[in-house]
Amino acid sequence: MDRKNIKPISSKILTNLDLRKTANGFEIQEKMELSHNQSLEFKECLRRSLPSHVSQSWLDSLQLLKITPSKVVLGGIQHKIYRYEIKTNHESLLKEVLNELFPEKAPFSEKKFEYKICSSTGRKKPVQTEFDLNQDQIANKNNDLEIKNYKSDFVTEHAAGSTSSYSLDSFIPGKRNLLASRACKAVVEMPGIAFNPFVIYGESGSGKTHLLEGISNELHQSNPKKHTVQVSAEDFLNDFVNHLRLSKMKEFRDRYRKADAFLLDDLQALVPSAKCQTELLYTINALRKKKAQIVIACQEAPTQISGLSSGLRGKLDSGLTVDIGIPDDQTRIAILESKAKERGIPLNNELANFIVKHIKGGIGRMEGVLMRLGVHASLLNEELTIELARYSLKDWLDDSAKKTNFEQHSHGKSKVTIENKILQHICIMFQISEEGLHSYRRDRKHIKARQAAVFLLKKLTSLSLSEIGKIIGRDHSTVHATLKKVGERMLKDDFFQKQMQTFLLEFEEKPVSRGALEQKRSYRN
């Protein structure tokens, strides 16, 4: 080869190539440097995809720096806490968004993701251990980021009106949470005096957030001039990290320590950060000196939270700590009926009892139940029955509630055998599931299968129309109307008539009741 004819590769070309080691040596592959607009588009798409309840404080400075055949490089991550959060909780979403935006570079599931801790301008910052710096200093003192009139979106600060509909009066107390409910009202009546600090703990879905926001709203309503700050522990931590990195700790402290009432939710989220726990302890001390009310909510009692500092634990123990507990069944029924009434959902007491008996979970689960039932009532104009609930809520029901209607209402072993065989035969012939047979699907195949099921159950058993209705999840009038439609259809549709006759003949040699035999003879005559 003539070396004189070999042209050198320009530096511009080299910057777009990635040298990758392979089994046969080295392979040069193209890499993709991304423009500022592409990075912005990626962030906006990611922002729209994130659930509304997820904190997005890490997203503002995030940058998509590079895509190569083997990896994706992200920068602008301001602290290792954010890097951990993105990698642990959001990496799968990153891959989905990238697959949509850059299909020519997919699949991203096979690429390695690299996260660089640096400023939003792209200048790399030293990777630090957790807050291994003086209280108000950071390693990069020339940081050009500033917080001007800084106020993050995640803190509820009552200055000009309430932002939530929760109230203490709308909280439905039961035997297990009566003390917590009354203590909350005492806090509102005598803030900073009755119980301070006041700690509420209980499992997810027990109503902690309802009480916390109820206190916040009523404190503001009773004295609008007072400054109430309500924040989740996760967002308190994010706020702390942001201000610490930017040497703005005075603003952070003023923000929380000048409050007349301070409410913190999900205390256990602070366990990974000892420094933030210390800052919270100093904040509580400052607030108590000025007799500002402090309310803390958590999933366990502070003494049981592993990783909580002894100083913070001791400070919280000096006030009142109340276990809210999971509502008992009677309370859950009352909550369910109250929320159904608020939303205009026609929920009768029998259905409410069925739901509470067979669906476990907290208030959030009950709201999900009402959401599903509300769709059937409002959009599909369907009557809310236990049969409908058994179908639409099947993934939440316990095993005893998942039994078919036939199993719930049959009276004899022989009936069970005959009727089960009829339903199984229908499902095989029409190639549908038993679940589909009991569903409210309106396509031609499912409608025809239900009509056949009603016809055969009537002809081959001695069941009443009401009993047949219970088997297929319909009422007496629907079964009567279906039989009428089947009769009309058999007069007009020869194929359908022959199909029904074939079904009857296939059951001729099967053991059936005397009443069924008499009905078969009557049909043939």
Residue range 415-433, pLDDT digits in tens = 445 777 788 778 877 777 7
What are 77's two structure tokens?
A: 């991550």
260 versus 45: which is more confidently predicted?
A: 260
**Whether residues 354 and 415 fall in one domain:** no
Instruction: Note every long-range contact of 53-62, with CB atoms under 8 Å and residues 24 or more positions apart, other chains counting.
Output: 54/89, 55/154, 55/232, 55/234, 55/235, 55/238, 57/82, 57/152, 57/154, 57/235, 57/238, 57/239, 57/242, 58/82, 58/85, 58/86, 58/238, 60/120, 61/119, 61/120, 62/86
Residue 438 Cα to chain centre, angstroms = 28
Say if residues 158 and 220 touch (Cβ distance below 8 Å): yes
Is the whole model's pTM more than 0.85, yes or no?
A: no
Per the domain annotation, does 493 fall within a domain? yes
**Whether residues 210 and 273 fall in one domain:** yes
Looking at 377, 402, 427, which one is the last position of a domain? 402
| pLDDT given for residue 142 in this prediction | 37
**Whether residues 51 and 92 fall in one domain:** yes
Domain encompassing residue 370: 329-402
Per the domain annotation, does 291 fall within a domain? yes
**Whether residues 269 and 185 fall in one domain:** yes
**Whether residues 177 and 279 fall in one domain:** yes
| pLDDT given for residue 77 in this prediction | 83
> DSSP per residue over 430-456, as a string?
HT--HHHHHS---SHHHHHHHHHHHHH
Cα separation, 5 vs 24, in Å, equals 26
**Whether residues 64 and 202 fall in one domain:** no
| pLDDT given for residue 200 in this prediction | 93
CATH number for the domain harbouring residue 491: 1.10.1750.10
**Whether residues 398 and 416 fall in one domain:** no
Mean pLDDT, all residues of the chain: 75
pLDDT at 18 over 60: no
Per the domain annotation, does 454 fall within a domain? yes
Looking at 384, 402, 420, which one is the last position of a domain? 402
Per the domain annotation, does 236 fall within a domain? yes
Residue range 52-93, pLDDT digits in tens = 656 566 787 888 888 888 899 988 887 666 776 788 778 888
DSSP state of 35: P
**Whether residues 163 and 91 fall in one domain:** no
Give the number of domains in the chain. 4
Cα separation, 394 vs 236, in Å, equals 39
CATH number for the domain harbouring residue 73: 3.30.300.180
Residue range 120-165, pLDDT digits in tens = 333 333 323 233 334 333 333 333 333 333 334 344 554 333 445 6
CATH number for the domain harbouring residue 252: 3.40.50.300
Q: What angle do helix axes 36-49 and 91-101 make, rounded to 10 degrees?
A: 120
**Whether residues 270 and 178 fall in one domain:** yes
Looking at 402, 419, 452, which one is the last position of a domain? 402
Residue range 283-314, pLDDT digits in tens = 999 999 999 999 999 989 999 998 999 999 99
**Whether residues 299 and 235 fall in one domain:** yes
